[in-house]
Amino acid sequence: MKTLKGTVASLALSLGLATAAQAELSGTLKIFSDMSNPAPRAVMEGMAAEFDAMHPNLTVELTVIDREAYKTQIRNFLTANAPDVANWYAANRMRPYVSAGLFEDISDLWAEPEIADALASTKGAMTLDGKQWGVPYTYYQWGVYYREDIYNELGLEEPKDWEAFKSNCQKILDSGRKCFTIGTKFLWTAGGWFDYLNMRTNGYDFHMALTNGEIAWTDDRVKQTFANWRELIDMGAFIDNHQSYSWQEALPFMVKGEAAAYLMGNFAVAPLREAGLGTDQLDFYQFPTINPDVELAEDAPTDTFHIPSGAQNKEAAREFLRFVVSADNQTRINSGTALGQLPVNSNSSVDDDEMLNQGFEMLSSNAPGGIAQFFDRDAPAEMASVAMEGFQEFMVFPDNLDDILNRLEKTRERVY
């Protein structure tokens, strides 16, 4: 446990950083965090120190726990010895603690204009049962990363709709390349394809209802998602033997020009660049429209802060959450020298990185349908595991669809 007081607070006072409102906070603010890797830990320690310095009558105590250990300990400490603020994840990953009454309802914060307006695109990820249970502090985009030089060679433009998407794919195939690389050895990459195809076919609300167990997997609307997916499979759009590769092992197909694109999170950019793809070779576009009657929604996995219902200093905890999501703090902690991801506040600045800027613009202003968290976060663990096994099987044996959907439906009936 680390107590942050003394010289930092004195410096803050000397600079006149403590306002009358800030000075009203007192006592101890206990923060438990899973930001244990070096860069995130430095971010967490910096935020705790700065908030401590802003409030001379408040003592901030920060406890950083190894990320994997944190996952096994969180229910125990929320139940027995709750801190005032705790890290976790958005959407269905917070549902067990919301359902158990262990997270505080902070809908009042989300009603404040500074949060309601600036964090609008992430509200859905923080909402369960019509209420908000935490705030996000960082996220990153998913989308189609593609070989711009190959597209230019073939005279292709970034597709805006499904027909253009398939037309591009056919031209890529005709050139002797695959349209998409993918490695489904560890299943979750197939979950990304299902997320986008389902959200583009049926919309965000339908997708969330499906992952919440409210819709049968044998529903005709779900079958339509798979019918769209099968169009790509039957074309031969994906690399062969993808079930043998991890997501990293699938990168060389794109680097060598054997595949033209990758549906993936922004974390793939660094290894693609390190493998030699220059700024004139690598670009990004938003997954195109399939059904024009549904608004565009995106996958953007989001990390969060929550106030446990057993917190002792909820007033200070609420003020800390306001501080976390403020525009200046969001700019600072998501910079390339810190987390290197996207700020959740639409008024923040993004590092001068082409992909991050494109992702920020997309998520801030061009994702009106909502922000999903990714299939294995939006669905319960057992459902996600069985479903993603089914997604991979479908990509290899699409004729097995009826058996796959019946198996997923039996799992849904049991899990929920």
Tens digit of each residue's pLDDT (9 = 90 or more) over 368-416: 888 899 998 899 889 999 999 999 999 999 999 999 999 999 999 999 9
pLDDT score of 18 more than 50:
no
Mean pLDDT of 13-19: 38
- DSSP sequence for 300-351: --EEEEE-BTT-S-HHHHHHHHHHHHSHHHHHHHTSTTTT-SB-SSTTS---
pLDDT score of 339 more than 70:
yes
Q: Is there a contact between 228 and 162 (Cβ–Cβ < 8 Å)? A: yes
Place of tokens 């949060």: 115
Q: Is there a contact between 151 and 291 (Cβ–Cβ < 8 Å)? A: no
Q: What is the pLDDT of residues 357-371, one digit of tens each?
A: 999 899 888 888 888
- CATH homologous superfamily, domain 142-299+380-415: Periplasmic binding protein-like II (3.40.190.10)
Q: Is there a contact between 259 and 253 (Cβ–Cβ < 8 Å)? A: yes
Mean pLDDT of 300-313: 96
Q: What is the pLDDT of residues 141-192, one digit of tens each?
A: 999 999 999 999 999 999 999 999 999 999 999 999 999 999 999 999 999 9
Q: How far is CA 1 from the centre of its chain?
A: 29
Supply 274's token pair. Answer: 């390190």
Which is nearest to 288 in space by CA: 139, 169, 126?
Answer: 169
Q: What is the pLDDT of residues 196-252, one digit of tens each?
A: 999 999 999 999 999 999 999 999 999 999 999 999 999 999 999 999 999 999 999
Q: What is the pTM of this model?
A: 0.82
Going across the sheet that includes 58-64, the strands are 2-4, 58-64, 27-33, 85-89, 302-306, 135-139
Average pLDDT across the chain, whole number? 92
Q: Where are the domains of the chain?
A: 2-140+303-368, 142-299+380-415
pLDDT, residue 173, reads 98
Q: Which helix (H) or strand (E) holds 285?
A: strand 282-285
CATH architecture of the region 2-140+303-368: 3-Layer(aba) Sandwich (3.40)
C-alpha span between 217 and 224 (Å, rounded): 11
pLDDT score of 27 more than 90:
yes
Residue 46's Cβ-side half-sphere holds a number of Cα atoms within 13 Å equal to: 15
Which is nearest to 150 in space by CA: 176, 126, 131, 124?
Answer: 176
pLDDT, residue 13, reads 37
2-140+303-368 and 142-299+380-415, same CATH topology: yes
